[in-house]
Amino acid sequence: MSGQVIGQEFKIRSRLLINGQGAFLRAAITVDDSLSAKEVEIGSFLVSQNGSVHSEDGELLVDRNQHLIEYSLLVAILRRVLSITTKD
């Protein structure tokens, strides 16, 4: 999946992650580093089988029953990309 925020392109790459807590989809948010011309991971999150969103440490970030869960997740991703863009 890819997108663009105020001219900054980003990608979300996913893969299956199985650990002691279960099976998750690991989503890594990446941007291209203009200096090194390499893709750099700027954040990541885990999605459980029930749809809840967790940090890499397993902390619950967004409960699957939360109102407008998709919106909350999208806003969090866009804020992360914007925080990188405004530092350049």
Query: Is this prediction's pTM over 0.85?
Result: no
Query: What pLDDT digit, counting tens, does each position of 9-36 carry?
Result: 899 999 999 988 889 999 999 998 878 8
Query: What pLDDT digit, counting tens, does each position of 40-67 carry?
Result: 998 899 999 888 899 888 888 888 887 7
Q: State the number of CA atoms in the 13 A half-sphere of 45 facing the CB.
A: 17
CA distance readout (Å), 30 to 17, 42, 66, 77, 79: 18, 6, 26, 10, 13
pLDDT, mean over the chain:
85
